[in-house]
Amino acid sequence: MEDKEKYLIDIAKEKTYQNQFDEYHKQFSEWRSRKDNPYGYSFVHDMREHTYVDGEGYYQKKADVAERAALTKCLSLLGATMMTMLFIDAIIALVFYRLFNDPAANVVHYSELETQKTYFTPLVMTLYGAANLFKYLIGLWIFFRFSKIPLKVAVPKPQESKISKSGIFLMLVITVFGKVGNYLLNAIFGWMNVDCVYSVAVHNPDSILADAIYVLFNCVLVSIASEILFRGAILQMFRQFGDTFAMLVSGIAFSFTYYDISTMGFAVLCSAALGLFTIKSGSLKNTVIMRIFTSLASYTFTCVMLDNYSNGRIIVTCIYTFIVAVSAFIFARLICNGKWTFRIQDDPSEITNSNKLKMFFTNTSITIWLVAVLAMYFLTVRFV
């Protein structure tokens, strides 16, 4: 009897994901191979099968057809998720505009460091934090509800994974350069009488409780929910199309939740580092801790600047210098010892990354979302 198995190529079962445990591979493969799952790229190719087409002769069925179909579905789900989250952001912005007559009252503008007047009470801060957290919870619900991706795949936690100290220092360096770049861009926009550059933080120097509420919601809970969504569900689901592409998709989605051009550079670098450490460590625990630590550090820097602008600049500059110096020493040692590399092992795909990116930007759901993001950019701009 002929051995059929040797002629079959099962793409879903044969693909491996670096730095992941057996249960992850098993559940990911089973999820991808389900016949009722349009979001899974699964293709079983029988090398003996051929199809005859008039004028073209015999040809083998192509795996790229199955990959394109699954990728289109995944992109549509991503676009719908991001549009829902943007809609909630728009409602939050509208509410604050009604309350404070300011389209960006819920952020700290560098141009207002000496004259800021919009302080949030503990109640308002709670409502703002809860609304911001709700946005990510809704995004997670939509993504899990429709994709039905297994929790152990979306939130990988290998038991042997360790906290990366070098990753924390890398995020601190990115935060420093992000703050400096943000401040320089503010100066450029200030010359054009446009105030759209801000540090994403809310600070009330008269209320420790209000600040504590902000830290709880936006530095801790939102950071956790955001990482589960972007480096968890989104990045892990798109890994079936290649790790590099998965990092690009999750990075773009994450970056465009910052509705300000001045923060794009920081968001892109932050997302790239978080995505890289997620794949290199195989665990979401690392990136969650890195993200919380970065959010707390960024908020602390902003508060120091706001509480005493003149001396605060000196203090923050000294802290920035110390972080960069220590990080340079740590990374130099890691590189010399061969323990620091940004290379990842990308599994082959039937479609090139350039074609996949073309599909990304031409997907109807994604296009609508990106247009709406541009609209949010203009809504938060203030001409002074």
Give DSSP secondary structure letters for 60-95.
PPPHHHHHHHHHHHHHHHHHHHHHHHHHHHHHHHHH
| Straight-line distance from the first to the last Cα atom of the chain, in angstroms, rounded to the nearest whole number | 82
| Residue 200 binned pLDDT confidence (cut-offs 50, 70, 90) | very low
Mean pLDDT of 318-329: 80
In the block, which residue shows the tokens 């340079």?
328
Write down the pTM of the prediction.
Answer: 0.85
Residue 182 has what pLDDT?
73
At 360-370, the pLDDT tens digits run 999 999 999 99
Measure the CA angle with vertex 58, ends 55 and 62; round to 5°: 115
At 34-75, the pLDDT tens digits run 888 999 888 765 545 544 444 444 444 577 788 899 999 999
DSSP E strands, the chain: 8-10, 44-46, 51-53, 57-59, 108-109, 194-195, 198-199, 382-383
* C-alpha to C-alpha distances, 384 to 28, 54, 192, 233, nearest whole angstrom: 52, 68, 9, 41
**How far apart are alpha carbons 270 and 273 in whole angstroms?**
5
Mean pLDDT of 133-144: 95
